[in-house]
Amino acid sequence: MSDPLRIVVVGNGMVGQKLLEELAERRPSGLDITVLCEEPRPAYDRVQLSSFFSGKTAEDLSLVPPGFFERDGLVLRLNAKAVAIDRSLKQVTTSTGETLPYDKLVLATGSYPFVPPVPGRERPDCFVYRTIEDLEAMTEAGGRSKVGVVVGGGLLGLEAAKALKDMGLETHVVEFAPRLMAVQVDDGGGRVLRQKIEALGVTVHTQKNTVEIVDGEARRHAMRFADDSVLETDMIVFSAGIRPRDELARASELGVGPRGGIVIDNHCRTLDDDIYAIGECALWDGKIYGLVAPGYEMARVCAAHIAAAVPQEDADEPPQFTGADMSTKLKLMGVDVASLGDAHAATPGARVCVYTDERKQVYKKLVVSEDGKYVLGGVLIGDAEAYGTLLQMMLNRMELPPEPEFLILPSGDGAARPALGVDALPDAAQICSCNNVSKATICAAVRDGAHSIGKLKTATKAGTSCGGCVPLTTQLMKAEMKRCGLSVNNHLCEHFPYSRQELYHLIRVGRIETFDELITRHGRGRGCDICKPAAASIFASCWNEFVLKKDKAALQDSNDYFLANIQKDGTYSIVPRIAGGEITPEKLIVLGEVAKKHRLYTKITGGQRIDLFGAQVHQLPLIWKELVDAGFESGHAYGKALRTVKSCVGSTWCRYGMLDSVSMALAIENRYKGLRAPHKIKSAVSGCTRECAEAQSKDFGVIATEKGWNLYVCGNGGMKPRHAELLAGDLDDETLIRYIDRFLMFYIRTADRLQRTSVWRDNLEGGLDYLKDVVVHDKLGIGAELEAEMAQVVGSYACEWKKAIESPEVLRRFRSFVNSDAPDSNVVFVDERNQIRPATPEEKARFKGVPVIAESA
């Protein structure tokens, strides 16, 4: 048996990790791979780095699947820096002095942030924006700062500006060029982009040359510019571009370009056939590619070439890297920005169509060939909906319609819209450039059973990196399913050929108020345990009638039927509402007296409620009568409804508090209490970014800043915890409530049955960007309608338990047996820690025939 091929990979960034995944996928036998990672953690998503400031953790950003480095023949060394290459001995030396032999060496060293040689650049609280450690240091400084400046107005600079904005700082961007994103957009696009960025509260300074950084008078730093102007700030982030990490190659004479970068050929080999370079450190045909998709393509080529060095049967000729399309679509600070192909119309004979609406802050530019038949490039600012169509037409050299300008003009002028159907795309069309997934691959996966976006991502990896291809991937999936004769539906159950969303609209538009009318008009049969509770929930969301009204009670599940959560021993829990966690001493005493009188187990929960356990069904009305008389209301712990709005003490008591979080939590909980939804809803309000109320783990959470409230949505705890995402920032009270109204009602309208907000958000084809368009920008024009529907629900609220105890008909159902008022003798408790708990089966056998409250042995 021959010795294994020794591979050393220097760097475990996004591209280095992609190389390892490609090698693992090819599974050539006889590889011994050692990975040197300079950072203290393995590969993470640098494209989404700014999401660290809106709640994502290092673990959330990780690109390494669990157990990936546990496979044989693969070793990862963290905090391991390569300092030298000996090409003659074929070995790499690390910073600890260790030498590692190699047969093939891959340099995936990436790039480093360029910091202009400005005097004062090394002062405290001056940062670069590259690693998680950089972000952690920025977070610490941001906590004691009020003003932040980003030096650099390119892609990375605007990402860094978003990070400062998310920290609640007064944010400035300083750019040397006359416009933002000078490489990607032209003057017209740059002007509109600046307007949109400034409208978000970021001050932009263009044509500014920083000459020195000194002590400020009001702030820590003063930036002096060549035009004698001065800008004072507390912290500075340099994000003025990148430079390739090519120092190892320079020292070992591998060949670098005049402006840096390790020279490679079409197989990603350097001047040494046994050494490869991939990603931002590599120079191909005089070009450094600063996007992740070309780096991933280099990783695929490199992996194939290395795999070809291991003898294999039926091995294909390894592919070559022949350049990459630099088109990109991004969301910068919530602003759609897209650039494709020849954005500056540099091609001889190129013709340009431009649409500008500075009122709506939209700029679109289409570059076509001299004969007007083909797309050469384009720029889209503020509305990038046409990006997918234009990109596919450009990449696949598809002929333009006779009037191509209508591809970028807004709809509404009566002209027919030329459209690109997915059927028109060739099988070789690259749908996901990050992971090199073609239309043919996606369609094949659909034919093999990938009939959801989640399954399709798993099968093909399409949409798993930047996510920009998800809408087109979804269209392809549905089209292929129809082509295969599969029905594309999400019917609620066998009794209703509609989704929950469609059923909601039928009930709302038809003003249907009973299940009998609903199934007569739109269903068949008698209904089931799926459609009845779903319909009951929709009725409650739309009309907010008492859920135990005669025609509604039979639709409810067991918890809603008894307005309480049934527990493991057949007893029920009592959960009164304690809005915002605030309770008076008098009410606290009432809870204690009720619990003591009825011998109930008492527990303070993580949602700032007090739960009373151990009530038998016949006791529920008696207990609730005492609680309602004391001013308590139902906490809806039994319903798919708003549960709690947790809060910290906020500015009222806390020295760090920015705003009165308790008052806001009370306002929110009292507004939405009783709101029925597809699933339970939890919320929280934190008085500052220290986040004591854990707002970013809730379905919607609110965090105070110096300028208002930040609204986060679609998070949850539970089995699959998920951080919420920032929907809108620095909101006043009125705007915050308006956005929450829209968000909740849109969720109630469109979510599937029993679907949490996080899963619902994942299934929205446009994701968070689409949600922002609907809620914040009112793109669908339904904002006022959603607010009116919420106002109807809020205005018709009534405590369900108060109505229950006032109705003799309802009270008759609260007994353990239909033919007797006797309690359930099978319920047995024992004492433990001065409270009761359900007896175990062994204890029940021992205490058989004794009173319900038994003394434990």
Q: How far apart are CA 344 and CA 352, in angstroms?
A: 9
Complete edge-to-edge strand list for the sheet that includes strand 82-86: 82-86, 91-94, 99-101
The CA–CA distances, whole Å, from 310 to 3, 536, 786, 814 equal: 11, 63, 62, 75
Provide the terminal-to-terminal Cα distance of the chain, rounded to the nearest Å: 69
Annotated binding residue 281: no
Q: What order do you get walking across the sheet with 835-838 strand by strand?
A: 835-838, 829-832, 853-854
> Does 688 belong to an annotated binding site?
yes
Those residues with Cβ within 8 angstroms of residue 656's Cβ, 6 or more apart along the chain or in another chain? 687, 688, 690
DSSP 264-304: --TTSB-SSTTEEE-GGGEEBTTB---SHHHHHHHHHHHHH
> Which distant-in-sequence residues (6+ apart) come within 8 Å of 693 by Cβ?
646, 647, 648, 661, 665, 684, 685, 686, 687, 701
CA atoms within 13 A on the CB side of 417: 11
HSE toward the beta carbon, residue 6, CA cutoff 13 A: 8
* Number of continuous H segments (helices) and E segments (strands) in the chain: 27, 39
Does 648 appear as a known binding residue? yes
Torsion of CA 41, 45, 48, 51, to 10 degrees: -30
Parallel, antiparallel, or unpaired: how do β-strands 31-36 and 5-10 relate? Answer: parallel
Residue 255, token pair as written in the block: 């060949």
| DSSP β-ladder status, 282-283 and 262-263 | parallel
Q: Which residues pair with 100 in a beta bridge?
A: 92
- Would the CA dihedral through 246, 251, 256, 257 be positive or negative? positive
**Cα 769 to Cα 775: distance, rounded to the nearest angstrom:** 10
φ, ψ for residue 564 (rounded to 5)? -165, 155
In terms of DSSP bridges, do strands 642-647 and 610-615 run parallel, antiparallel, or are they unpaired? unpaired
Amino acid at 678: P
C-alpha span between 704 and 652 (Å, rounded): 13
Our measurement of the distance from residue 512's CA atom to the centroid of its chain's CA atoms, rounded to an integer in Å, reads 36
- Residues 6 or more apart whose CB falls under 8 angstroms from that of 685 comprise 580, 645, 646, 647, 648, 650, 661, 662, 664, 665, 668, 693, 695, 701, 702, 703, 704
DSSP code string of 443-496: HHHHHTT--SHHHHHHHH-TTSSS-TTHHHHHHHHHHHHHHTT------SBTTB
Q: Which residues contact 346 (CB under 8 A, 6 or more apart)?
A: none
- Of 333, 133, 120, which Cα lies nearest the Cα of 233? 120
Q: Is 629 exposed, middle or buried (0-12, 13-18, 19+ CB in 10 A)?
A: exposed
State the CB neighbour count (10 A cutoff) for residue 154.
Answer: 21
- Please choose, from the candidates 128, 125, 124, 130, the residue with its C-alpha nearest in 3D space to the C-alpha of residue 116: 128
Question: Is residue 799 annotated as involved in ligand binding?
Answer: no
E strand or H helix at 831: strand 829-832
List, in sequence order, every beta strand (DSSP E) within 157-217: 170-174, 202-205, 210-215
Q: Which helix (H) or strand (E) holds 829?
A: strand 829-832
Residues making up the binding site for [4Fe-4S] cluster = 648, 654, 688, 692
Residues making up the binding site for siroheme = 692
Residues making up the binding site = 648, 654, 688, 692
